[in-house]
């Protein structure tokens, strides 16, 4: 389902905000009831269609709506805690889900009642996602799924998952895939924590043992999973690297504060590096704002790969400089016991944590090497790499 936004005015949407606030004063309204009312009024994402949390208006009006609610002290939907649902599942559902599926999933997704995860990567299929080996076998109105997924953020909190599986082993790897939505409470779904370099378990491995998925939960046609997946991946890269942080926030924020608060740690070479990173951060912020407009209307292109690549490089360089400026304080670390991170609140962590965590930025959501290939081929128009396995049946590929 596609959206053709119509024009509107800031005044008109603010009027609708005022009407909702009058009918549901934030101070006297249950948080979840308020969020549901906001969705039903079309003020969740104004560029979405009516009945799906929107008004069919231009995406540029969303910041106006968000600012008006924030000024009134209204609750938000805690987007940090459902980044996969909001940034990846929603645009995929908007484009490929049936009207019945959209009505079932969109509102609890936006309100945060139901958290989403993404079951794509596997131990033998990460950067080469089309090589996934998890299989689905048709059995009446259901599909029986078996396999293993890995690096699944938020799987331990999720109600639903975006699931890519192989439904035909005789076709080449890109053409034998099908895309489903999986109820994570289904028998046979086993979520296990993966402890990271930081000591936390933000990711998971997920085992699927004779898991039954209704055909009614399929997105797109059988065998067209790769086409649906491209929508998810393009939105994922912008969602990871494209958050528009205020000036001097985001990756550059902690190192800039370290510079200002501890003048004795400054030196000329660090100053030059900080200025260079500050300029990179500002360029990334402005580029994110522009590409975010494409994301809002569900049409991010391969340029999102450049954004994700730039974000990873900036985050790693800034955390490294922060570690240098911190001196002996960089040796301090939080409690090393395994824990699940809380994505709903800002993390005020020591420099060593961010240095370790940003190592994953060049891997998660597609490696930086894959991003460079996409930029080279789809943005710059350079010759594509040789891919001799594209026309070989998946069952005949070496693994």
Catalytically active residues are 236
Residue 166: strand, helix, or coil? strand
Per-residue tokens: 117:
């995860």
CA 332 to each of CA 74, 192, 336: distance values in angstroms, whole numbers, following the listed order: 38, 29, 11
User: How many other CB atoms are there within 10 angstroms of residue 233's CB atom?
Assistant: 22
β-pair type (177-183, 135-139): unpaired
**Stretch (H or E) spanning 148:** strand 142-150
Output DSSP code: residue 30.
-
Cβ proximity of 153 and 84 under 8 Å: yes
Output DSSP code: residue 128.
S
Cβ proximity of 295 and 233 under 8 Å: no
Per-residue tokens: 15:
């009027």
Distance CA 185, CA 233 (A): 25
User: What 3 state SS string does 91-110 have?
Assistant: HHHHHHCCHHHHHHHHHHHH
């Amino acid at each position: 389902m596609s959206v053709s936004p119509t024009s509107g005015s800031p005044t008109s949407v603010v009027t609708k905000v005022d009407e909702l606030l009058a009918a549901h004063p934030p101070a006297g309204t249950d948080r979840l009831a308020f969020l549901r009312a906001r969705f039903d009024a079309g003020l969740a994402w104004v560029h979405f269609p009516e009945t799906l949390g929107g008004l069919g208006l231009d995406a540029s009006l969303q910041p106006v709506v968000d600012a008006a609610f924030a000024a009134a002290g209204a609750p938000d939907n805690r987007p940090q805690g459902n980044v996969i649902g909001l940034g990846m599942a929603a645009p995929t559902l908007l484009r490929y889900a049936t009207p019945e599926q959209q009505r079932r999933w969109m509102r609890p997704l936006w309100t945060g009642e139901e958290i989403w995860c993404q079951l794509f990567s596997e131990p033998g299929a990460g950067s080469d996602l089309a090589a996934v080996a998890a299989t689905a076998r048709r059995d009446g109105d259901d599909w029986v799924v078996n396999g293993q997924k890995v690096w699944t953020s938020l799987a331990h909190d999720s109600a639903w998952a975006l699931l890519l599986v192989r439904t035909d082993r005789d076709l080449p790897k890109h053409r034998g895939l099908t895309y489903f939505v999986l109820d994570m409470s289904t028998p046979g779904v086993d979520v296990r924590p993966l402890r990271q370099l930081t000591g936390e378990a933000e990711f998971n491995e997920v085992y699927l043992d004779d898991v039954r998925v209704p055909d009614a939960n399929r997105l797109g046609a059988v065998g067209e999973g790769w086409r649906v997946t491209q929508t998810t991946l393009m939105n994922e890269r912008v969602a990871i690297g494209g958050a528009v942080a205020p000036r001097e926030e985001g990756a550059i924020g902690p190192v800039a504060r370290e510079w200002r608060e501890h003048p004795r740690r400054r030196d000329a070479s660090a100053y030059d590096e900080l200025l260079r990173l500050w300029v990179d951060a500002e360029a990334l912020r402005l580029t994110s704002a522009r590409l975010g407009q494409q994301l809002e209307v569900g049409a991010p292109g391969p340029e999102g790969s450049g954004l994700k690549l730039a974000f990873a490089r900036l985050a790693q360089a800034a955390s490294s400089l922060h570690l240098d400026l911190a001196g002996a304080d960089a040796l301090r670390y939080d409690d090393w016991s395994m824990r699940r991170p809380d994505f709903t609140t800002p993390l005020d962590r020591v420099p060593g944590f961010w240095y370790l965590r940003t190592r994953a930025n060049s891997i998660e959501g597609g490696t930086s090497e894959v991003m460079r290939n996409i930029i080279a081929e789809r943005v710059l128009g350079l010759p594509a790499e040789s891919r001799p396995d594209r026309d070989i049946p998946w069952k005949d590929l070496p693994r």
